[in-house]
Amino acid sequence: MNKKKIDIFDTTLRDGEQGPGCLLTLQSKLEIAEQLEFLGVDIIEAGFPVSSPADFKAVQEVSKLIKNAKVCALSRARELDIDTAVNALKNAVCPRVQLGIGTSDIHIKNKFNSTRDDILAVAFKMVRYASNKIEEVQFFAEDAGRADNLFLAKMVENVIEAGATIVNLPDTNGFCTPFEYYEKIKFVIENVSNMHKAKISVHCHNDLGMATANTIAGLLAGASQAEGTINGVGERAGNAALEEIVMTLIIKDLPIFTTVDPRYISKLSKMVEIAMSNPVQANKAIVGRNAFAHSSGIHQDGVLKDRSNYEIIDPAMIGFELPDLILTARSGRAALRHRMEILDIQFQENEFEQYYAYFLQVADTKSIVADSDLIDLCKSRSRKV
Ligand code: KIV
Ligand code: ZN
């Protein structure tokens, strides 16, 4: 099968940082950008330069640092925003400006008090303006998720005509289901006459918990670029988590692929978690601390026989140092025996059942039985066995 390469667009430093309480220092932004480059993402969105002097500086410094990935800066459909973004990107090896405007009727009426025709005209004018200042222009059709598909197709054709070579169709409010988003992307691709001159990008938010599923659906419908953030950080319920998109592309046999090197995912996730003081939920897919933890007896026994019984990803693929089995009240004999052997706790075979009974008594009083608990338990009980 001839597979198509998907560009991975990271927006941890821009949309991710928009999450409440997720502000990053310049130093953290540079460290994260460097790791993103090791990870091999294709584009790093570094900030929104007109929004503050600190964001301008961040885009400027990331532009100087990054050599392989493209560096993108956000802008509204306004001349001052575009000029400021172009200026901040001056030192980037491959700069890109992403500018856009609301495209749903809700945004057109309630945000801009405008009309579809006027919005089309502003978008055309500003994309043309930006295209005269910088080679690569990405347009975002904000709230595309709730926009009328026919109007969206008209908008996409309009901005490609004006010079955009990437068109982002964000599900800004995480409103779509995967099937709806698939149909939307497919409809646009099939109904835009100059589509061959541009790529479609997908950018999904997680308000209904479907951001990753929607992203994959959009890619399967024909989009060529996926946008997301590390740990899924971002406005409200966040953005599509980049690690989930990347690992889906890597482990599933799909007609699309990424060149991202997943071995940096675990480190980057920790780095973002600490820099944003934004703890990753324990059961978060791929990077949560329980993502590779097995607690029940049936699962632990299966994992001890062969990890693939209950793991679809080898944790080493994402650079995750595997914790050993966690002992809880749901753990079975196989896990207890395994842990006792690791801790070099000597026991007679005929004593084991008694140890297991004592272990369960302790486990019923604790959520996790630590190694120290196990050692204490075995020491105190060995006098009595
Ligand atoms: O969610 C969104 O619509 C955005 C755009 C600015 C790309 O983040
Ligand atoms: Zn967004």
Counting ligands in written order, the one closest to the CA of 107 is: 1
Cβ neighbours, 10 Å, residue 57? 15
User: Ligand 1: which of 12, 74, 76, 137 to mutate, most ligand atoms within 8 Å of CB?
Assistant: 74
- Which residue has the least CA distance to atom 8 on ligand 1? 15
| Residue owning the nearest CA to atom 2 of ligand 1 | 172
Give the number of other CB atoms < 10 A from CB of residue 305. Answer: 10
Ligand 1: centre distance to CA 18 (Å): 11
The pLDDT, as a whole number, for residue 382 is: 62
Q: Whose CA is nearest to atom 7 of ligand 1?
A: 140
Q: Give ∠ CA 24-30-36 in degrees, rounded to 5.
A: 100
* 361/340 Cα distance (integer angstroms): 17
Spatial separation of the C-alpha atoms in residues 175 and 205, rounded to whole Å: 8
366 CB contacts (<8 Å, ≥6 apart)?
Answer: 373
Q: Tell me, what's the pLDDT at 384? A: 53
Query: How many whole angstroms separate alpha carbon 159 and alpha carbon 120?
Result: 8
Nearest listed ligand to the Cα of residue 240: 2
* Residue 18 CA, closest ligand 1 atom number: 8
Question: How far away, in angstroms, is 234 Cα from ligand 1 center?
Answer: 10
State the pLDDT at residue 385. 46
3-state DSSP of the chain = CCCEECEEEECCCCCHHHCCCCCCCHHHHHHHHHHHHHHCCCEEEEECHHHCHHHHHHHHHHHHHCCCCEEEEEEECCHHHHHHHHHHCCCCCCEEEEEEEECCHHHHHHCCCCCHHHHHHHHHHHHHHHHCCCCCEEEEEECHHHCCHHHHHHHHHHHHHHCCCEEECCECCCCCCHHHHHHHHHHHHHHCCCHHHCEEEEEEECCCCCHHHHHHHHHHCCCCEEEEEHHHCCCCCCECEHHHHHHHHHHCCCCEECCCCHHHHHHHHHHHHHHCCCCCCCCCCCCCCCCCCCCCHHHHHHHHHCHHHCCCCCHHHHCCCCCCCCECCCCCHHHHHHHHHHCCCCCCHHHHHHHHHHHHHHHCCCCCECHHHHHHHHHHHHCCC
Residues forming a β-bridge with 196:
none
pLDDT 10s per residue in the chain (385 long)?
Answer: 799 999 999 999 999 999 989 999 999 999 999 999 999 999 999 999 999 999 999 999 999 999 999 999 999 999 999 999 999 999 999 999 999 999 999 999 999 999 999 999 999 999 999 999 999 999 999 999 999 999 999 999 999 999 999 999 999 999 999 999 999 999 999 999 999 999 999 999 999 999 999 999 999 999 999 999 999 999 999 999 999 999 999 999 999 999 999 999 999 999 999 999 999 999 999 999 999 988 888 999 999 999 999 999 999 999 998 767 889 999 999 999 999 988 888 888 998 999 999 999 999 998 889 888 888 877 776 655 4
Kindly report the length of the chain.
Answer: 385
Q: Give ligand 1 pocket residues (Cβ under 6 A).
A: 15, 74, 140, 142, 168, 170, 172, 203, 205
d(C-alpha 297, C-alpha 239), whole Å: 35
CA distance 107 to 125: 19
Q: Which of 170, 230, 251, 257 has its CA nearest to residue 205?
A: 170
Distance from residue 294's CA to the centre of ligand 2 (Å) = 34
Measured distance CA(125)–CA(114) in Å, rounded: 16
Neighbours of 12 (CB within 10 A): 33
Query: What is the whole-number distance in angstroms between the Cα of residue 64 and the centre of ligand 1?
Result: 25
Confidence check on the interface: ipTM exceeds 0.95, yes or no: yes
- Residues, Cβ < 5 Å to ion ligand 2: 15
Task: For ligand 1, atom 4, name the residue with the nearest CA.
Answer: 172
Note whether 128 and 157 are within 8 A (CB): no
Distance (Å, rounded) from C-alpha 40 to C-alpha 53? 28
